[in-house]
Amino acid sequence: EAGVAQSPRYKIIEKRQSVAFWCNPISGHATLYWYQQILGQGPKLLIQFQNNGVVDDSQLPKDRFSAERLKGVDSTLKIQPAKLEDSAVYLCASSLGPRGGTNEKLFFGSGTQLSVL
């Protein structure tokens, strides 16, 4: 089965520019997550979608970050304007559902490495 697809793999921008990342989850996965992973740290959840609705965006810096998941499938994460501290790897993950049982396993994409200069 195809995994979680993310693009681009690398992105270099200057501060105050805007950038967008794209994620295509595994087919049939209802839950989609965006994580920010700063070098030397663990992934930090930015936003969680259940189908096309937002479940948790409490750690999303809403003054500059936005995300959407149209039709409950693909998702885009945007940063506008970017700051130096946004340099990180942005990971997308998906799972079958939000609850326990066999649906809690997360499948991750390879991430987008963002460098803000």
Partner 1 sequence: AQTVTQSQPEMSVQEAETVTLSCTYDTSENNYYLFWYKQPPSRQMILVIRQEAYKQQNATENRFSVNFQKAAKSFSLKISDSQLGDTAMYFCAFMNTNAGKSTFGDGTTLTVKP
Q: State yes or no: residue 56 binds partner 1 (CB under 8 A).
A: yes
Residue closer to partner 1 by CB (options 81, 98) is 98
Q: Give the helix ranges, DSSP H, for the chain.
A: none
Q: Which residues pair with 6 in a beta bridge?
A: 23
| Part in contact with partner 1 (CB under 8 A); list of ranges 21-29, 44-52, 67-75, 80-88 | 44-52
In single-letter form, the type of residue at position 11 comes to K
Query: Are 108 and 33 within 8 A, CB to CB?
Result: no
- Where along the sequence are the contacts to partner 1 (CB under 8 A)? 31, 33, 35, 40-45, 48, 55-56, 89, 91, 93, 95, 97-100, 103-106, 108-111, 113
